[in-house]
Structure 1
Amino acid sequence: MSLPLLPWFLAYFAGVLLSNPQEESLFPYALAACALVVAVWVKLHRSRFRVLHLFLLALLFTLGWVNVQSRNSSLPADHIWNYLQHDKRARVEGVIVDRPKQFPDKTRLLVSIRKINYGDGWFPISGTGQINLYGDPVDLKWGDRVRFPPIRLKRPLNFRNPGRFDFEKFMESEGVDVMGGTSQRKSLQVLGQEPLSRMDAALLTLRDHMSDLLKQSLSSDNRAMINGLLFGEKSGMSDEVLEAYKVTGMGHLLAVSGLHIGFVALIFLWVTNKVLFSLMWRFKREWAQLGYSQKGAAGGALLAVLFYMVLVGPKVSSIRAGILVMAILIVLWINRERQILNTLLLAAFLILIWNPGAVYQLSFQLSFSAVLSIVLALKWVAEPTDDPLERIGEIAWYKRWTVNDVPTKGWGNKLVDIIAASAFISLAAYIGTFPVMLCQFHHISLVSPLINILLVPLASIVIPACLMVLFLGILVPALSIALLTPLGWLAGLFIQVPVWVAKLPEMSVYLPSPPWPWLFGYVIFFAGMGYRFFLKRREARGKKLSVFGALYAPLGLGLLGLLLLAGLVAPRLLHSKTPQLHVWLLDVGQGESIFIEFPNGKNMLLDGGGFFKGALDVGARVVGSFLWSRGIGEIDYLGATHSDQDHIDGVESLVEKMKVEHFLNRRDGMSDRRFSALVSEVVVRGIPLVEFGPEHPLKIGEVVIKNLHPTEAYYRNESRVKKDRLNNDQSWVVMLEYRQFRILLTGDITEKAEQWLMGQGTDLRAQVLKSPHHGSKTSSSSEFLQEVAAQDVLISSGFANYFHHPHKRVLKRYRQAGARVWNTAQRGALHLSTDGQNYKIETHEHLSHW
């Protein structure tokens, strides 16, 4: 197949990649270099060499580069970012511009902010905010002009750790500039209604009408599932269902993507073609014979897709998927079905011209990798073989569905065709999206291809059917309600099947990411497989292959396949041990997590962070992502300094999701209820306990880890353990010693424990101090700092946190003690590395876009 767009697209693609590489590895550079080499190679081998071709390739590369750089435009003077004071609360006034989303513990509003007041008067502003009202549901609707009680507004901010999810870019794609929340709902004032644009008002009115129809005909669970399947709204779903979709790998059904829009296009194409063909055959038979019904059906499907995109709303992901599907429909309209790969290239080209940042967005990567792998796999399976029976038209049962002009007789054979098609397409999409899923989520469902065989064909019926029935409800509400009832029963299967499967053991695994060369090798492997397929077609036509094509290409692909398998099984196989001790103070917001890599290759995690009321699984989403992105699949030593939520919550999560070799335990009688529950879970999972106290130092290679506090004498004389919680002064205080280097990790202790340590004559001297209790005003006394005499102080705190950590007086004491201060709130993750004598500290503030 000729791909005339390929070299031009690759040149532009390389320019986009290199203009703003959002990865710390060399992968974007290697991929861009490979794209440029292939682009030049194709032009040199597919057409007469002309200098003009190289000039045009260079021009497209430059256009890709410039398109990205030109997007960094300045904000309008009244934009909310120019007025934000992150450490203060503000009165905010704005208009609700979308339907409120109800969650079990909150109502989420999308608000066009019009005014802001930090206590010095009201200022007119522009921008969009996502504001959560905590508590019971609130009776608000779109178009309400609302004045909120004082709210602390913040810009979306990434967790600035290597391997982080780009939350800032995600919220930007959702159209959100600031975020905030309040539980003071009684102080909220509704000032009246403000009309939205006619288009927005009509759309939201239609959505309200559809929501009313669903409320009248379906149970709350089935209604929430229909909303999830049709519009990508998850607000009404239970945590059990959402977790089941994560475990089974079916989350793609709950996010409007190319799959959903493709379902709508396919069903409308099929129905419209049947209707038009019947009408044409009756009244204008020559039109039917000329295939005009298919062209008309493609036009009708285009209108259905446009309507669905408008109904879903202006989401970047749905617009991007819509462009892809509409491009395919246009190809059908103009009878160019064989140009499907060129169509994909054209759609990708148009999307990256419109939004070049899409190349780093998950929805773009998943959509195109899935569609491309399905198209290539279909071409491979539909290719005639040397089987004599197939040559005379006897198509094998497993590939019968790929041939349009072979009629299928009997419902049994049709069912086999549906199962075969669903299994093949699911497996192709699974293989194509595997590296994206692995590197973005580090979570692979082992049952996804199987459950897709059942639910994806069912979704291809339920989604378009619900859309048609709800649209019918505008004209005949009673009929729509009657038809929604059986669709609700089908929607129940989308709840029951994933929940049941998710309860089975070992249905999914968390895997560490292989190194970036593995990703590059994966791309090269499948590109090579495509090239091998091309060579096989040439050979089938009687053309002799070169030695490279006949011998070296298959051998190279086989070797590369083995290397890919080895990289997947042992992602740190090539990771060389160095005489360096690495200590990471991770950016977990207002909390703490310390990861230690020892020179002998072992590792330790102390604390895992945690959010208030478990609003975010920091253990898996932040700490786990950091570990998995570094190819680390197991923790050798895991511990929690004490049982505060912002320290122990992530540890509880990681015990469930990662392999742990040893758990650091407290002495009997020196733990509270939550820590004891964690230890019980550890024992149930068969993880060995290692007692870690002042009498039991650890030695890992050359590194000595001493637990200095709390001692038995401290418990006996100063602070007894309460059953409900360990207090801050009962935090572990740990000294790491490596040759001549020492770092003191102090948990959340306050001045009381500091005084006790000094009174016991403990040797606290260290080059580096991890700030006690996030730099609170109750800790870091001048005497303690003088005793430690640290050159550098590391602080773990959240940006603009509620507690105002670190306190200004404490920062002043650090400066007076002559120490350099490093804070995760400003610098992101702090990485200390030392050879036992000298050390350096690296920061990661560049992992945020502001």
Structure 2
Amino acid sequence: ALMLRREISSTYILLLALLTVLIIDPLSPLSLGFWLSFSAVAIIIFSLSGRLAIRTAHIAKLWQLGRLQGVIFVGLLPLMFILFHQFSVVSPLANLVAVPIMSIIIVPMTLLASSLLFIFEPLALLLFTLLKWPIDALFWYLEQLSQLPQSYYFLSEISLTTTILAFIACFWLLMPKGWPGRWLGMVLLLPAIMNSAMSNESDKIPAGDVILTVLDVGQGLSTIIRTQNHSLLYDTGDKFSPGFNMSDMVSIPYLRLKGIHEIDKLVLSHSDRDHAGSYVELNQLTIKEVISGEAEKIKRKYQGYLAKSSAAIKQCYQGQYWQWDGVKFEILSPVAKQLKNKNHKANNQSCVILVTTQSQQQILLTGDIEKTIEKQLIKNYPQLKADILIVPHHGSKTSSSMAFLKHINPEIAVFSYGYRNRFRHPADKVVRRYKQKDIKLLNTTNGAIEFKQDLDSPSWLIEQYRLENEYFWHRTAEYL
């Protein structure tokens, strides 16, 4: 087109680029970057093509650059709401610096250095070394922005109506000057923006009731219990690598989605990594109280990583009791003499909690207890029953004795384990025991499981995430 001196519309170039990307990588639409990149360019074309006056003054150019970032910020807001349930008010300032540095300095120098590797390696290595300075400076700047108060906001679940209004609002705001009522788009954005300052379902839980969510954290356990005004997190799941942990990937996004920004009580059942491995990463939330069956061991293990503002870790023990919004919480184990036994297995130090709602529905959280503690619970609590049992030790053969199942007599048992895990949890003979008792079996390999109390009956309303949101490309659901 340049050779023939023909003008080509920006829209045509964008569509050609889109087609090229899809031909080279047909799966690229599965990437968030695909949607963000093409959406940003489409927004720029829609908003600024033919509207930016040609000015030579430096101040005018800076104004146009700032306006460009503002346009991208407004245009991408609906996608931020849908994809991330959050938005950053400092992102225009971040892009204002990051985009020029990346496009003018970092990317060209990286390409040049990569090319020189095959021609003159010492010069290439020198360029790579010099690149450290702009990269470090950029990351320092971005970190300072992220630490500004109220620099970003999280949204809980938003309705389809609110989402549609957000799209209309942003479209309206990006129209040219003179468009009737252009700034009324701000009014349409208010429902989504106000959402960031409000909780979602917490205020909808009746007093005396709970919502129980067993999260899918792979091979591990993480459970959230919410009452009308409080929330308890039982275990965090594992930390598989420095950049991949279950708090960042599962627990925190879920809590923010539900409009919960502080945890009233964090219970780390014991110190095993698949139960407490993501504890440190939870510090980005406000945690009022932390208790554990192995408090001292966890203190030693994470002492160097915890912020000074972190809540002190206290020992949980039999007899502890509290009540939230008409819901009773009672610690059944470990017992005092058990804590003094240094040879006791970590699994058997697990903090066992019985939750009782106002309608006398009961939930038993067991951690990784084994048959020894099961016998102890039977002896110490002759009347102990539970409607929902979080299966001990992921269904290991060391737990879930028939005597324990007969005594607890649960209506529902939840197995939390990783799909095709290396421990082969749950053990076949354990699953058979539950089936012999006609207990309804659920497992987290089908995604998070949420239990709500049915207000019209004593039963539970159950939602299994993968089954409720199943697509044809998903593997077949796994039933026990």
TM-score bucket of the superposed structures, by smaller chain: 0.7 to 0.9
Q: Tell whether 2:111 aligns with 1:467.
A: yes
**Identity, % of aligned positions:** 26
Opposite residue 657 of structure 1, the aligned amino acid is: Q
Per the TM alignment, residue 605 of structure 1 is displaced from its structure 2 partner at its CA by: 1.1
Match of 1:295 in 2: 2
Residues 40 and 72 of structure 2 are in contact (CA less than 8 Å); yes or no, is this contact kept in structure 1?
yes
Please say which of residues 453-462 and 497-506 is displaced more in the overlay. Answer: 497-506
Separation (CA, whole Å) in 1 of partners of 2:116 and 2:241: 43
1:85-140 CA-partner distances (Å, limit 9, x unpaired): xxxxxxxxxxxxxxxxxxxxxxxxxxxxxxxxxxxxxxxxxxxxxxxxxxxxxxxx
CA separation of 1:558 and 1:436: change in aligned 2, threshold 3 A:
closer
Per the TM alignment, residue 811 of structure 1 is displaced from its structure 2 partner at its CA by: 0.9
Per the TM alignment, residue 645 of structure 1 is displaced from its structure 2 partner at its CA by: 0.7
1:219-273 CA-partner distances (Å, limit 9, x unpaired): xxxxxxxxxxxxxxxxxxxxxxxxxxxxxxxxxxxxxxxxxxxxxxxxxxxxxxx
Residues 419 and 453 of structure 1 are in contact (CA less than 8 Å); yes or no, is this contact kept in structure 2?
no
Separation (CA, whole Å) in 1 of partners of 2:290 and 2:146: 27
User: Normalization by structure 1: what TM-score?
Assistant: 0.49
CA separation of 1:468 and 1:758: change in aligned 2, threshold 3 A:
closer
1:68-100 CA-partner distances (Å, limit 9, x unpaired): xxxxxxxxxxxxxxxxxxxxxxxxxxxxxxxxx
Please say which of residues 801-810 and 621-630 is displaced more in the overlay. Answer: 621-630
Per the TM alignment, residue 560 of structure 1 is displaced from its structure 2 partner at its CA by: 1.6
Per the TM alignment, residue 685 of structure 1 is displaced from its structure 2 partner at its CA by: 1.6
Per the TM alignment, residue 489 of structure 1 is displaced from its structure 2 partner at its CA by: 1.6
Match of 2:396 in 1: 776
Match of 2:93 in 1: 450
Opposite residue 593 of structure 1, the aligned amino acid is: S
Match of 2:290 in 1: 664
Aligned with residue 834 of structure 1, among 426, 446, 453 = 453
User: Normalization by structure 2: what TM-score?
Assistant: 0.82
Q: Tell whether 2:157 aligns with 1:506.
A: no
Larger radius of gyration: 1
Aligned with residue 628 of structure 1, among 256, 259, 279 = 256
| Structure 1 residue ranges without an equivalent (≥5) | 1-293, 300-332, 384-401, 538-548
Opposite residue 782 of structure 1, the aligned amino acid is: M
Per the TM alignment, residue 435 of structure 1 is displaced from its structure 2 partner at its CA by: 4.2
Per the TM alignment, residue 770 of structure 1 is displaced from its structure 2 partner at its CA by: 1.1
Match of 1:334 in 2: 6
The structure with the greater share of residues assigned to helix is 1
CA separation of 1:491 and 1:420: change in aligned 2, threshold 3 A:
farther
Match of 1:527 in 2: 171
Opposite residue 464 of structure 2, the aligned amino acid is: T
Match of 2:342 in 1: 720
Separation (CA, whole Å) in 1 of partners of 2:314 and 2:200: 26
1:363-407 CA-partner distances (Å, limit 9, x unpaired): 22201221133334435xx74xxxxxxxxxxxxxxxxxx444x44
CA separation of 1:431 and 1:481: change in aligned 2, threshold 3 A:
farther
CA separation of 1:356 and 1:563: change in aligned 2, threshold 3 A:
farther
Match of 2:223 in 1: 594
Residues 299 and 313 of structure 2 are in contact (CA less than 8 Å); yes or no, is this contact kept in structure 1?
no
Tell me the secondary structure at the aligned position of residue 699 of structure 1.
strand
Residues 75 and 171 of structure 2 are in contact (CA less than 8 Å); yes or no, is this contact kept in structure 1?
no
CA separation of 1:441 and 1:651: change in aligned 2, threshold 3 A:
farther
Please say which of residues 571-580 and 734-743 is displaced more in the overlay. Answer: 571-580
Residues 639 and 651 of structure 1 are in contact (CA less than 8 Å); yes or no, is this contact kept in structure 2?
no
Residues 521 and 560 of structure 1 are in contact (CA less than 8 Å); yes or no, is this contact kept in structure 2?
yes
Match of 2:363 in 1: 743
CA separation of 1:490 and 1:601: change in aligned 2, threshold 3 A:
same
1:200-228 CA-partner distances (Å, limit 9, x unpaired): xxxxxxxxxxxxxxxxxxxxxxxxxxxxx
Separation (CA, whole Å) in 1 of partners of 2:404 and 2:165: 53
CA separation of 1:574 and 1:428: change in aligned 2, threshold 3 A:
farther
Separation (CA, whole Å) in 2 of partners of 1:659 and 1:812: 42
Q: Tell whether 2:186 aligns with 1:567.
A: no
Equivalenced residues, count: 463
Separation (CA, whole Å) in 1 of partners of 2:6 and 2:196: 44
1:679-828 aligned within 5 A: 684-685=308-309, 687=311, 693-716=317-340, 719-720=341-342, 727-738=346-357, 739-825=359-445, 827-828=446-447
1:28-47 aligned within 5 A: none
Per the TM alignment, residue 736 of structure 1 is displaced from its structure 2 partner at its CA by: 1.0
Match of 1:433 in 2: 76
Match of 2:211 in 1: 582
Match of 1:325 in 2: none
Tell me the secondary structure at the aligned position of residue 798 of structure 1.
coil
Residues 85 and 157 of structure 2 are in contact (CA less than 8 Å); yes or no, is this contact kept in structure 1?
no
Residues 271 and 297 of structure 2 are in contact (CA less than 8 Å); yes or no, is this contact kept in structure 1?
no
Match of 2:135 in 1: 494
Separation (CA, whole Å) in 1 of partners of 2:117 and 2:364: 67
Residues 672 and 721 of structure 1 are in contact (CA less than 8 Å); yes or no, is this contact kept in structure 2?
no
Separation (CA, whole Å) in 2 of partners of 1:464 and 1:757: 67
| CA RMSD, 1 decimal | 3.7
Match of 1:374 in 2: 44
Tell me the secondary structure at the aligned position of residue 803 of structure 1.
coil
CA separation of 1:355 and 1:573: change in aligned 2, threshold 3 A:
same
Aligned with residue 67 of structure 2, among 424, 430, 454 = 424
Tell me the secondary structure at the aligned position of residue 698 of structure 1.
strand
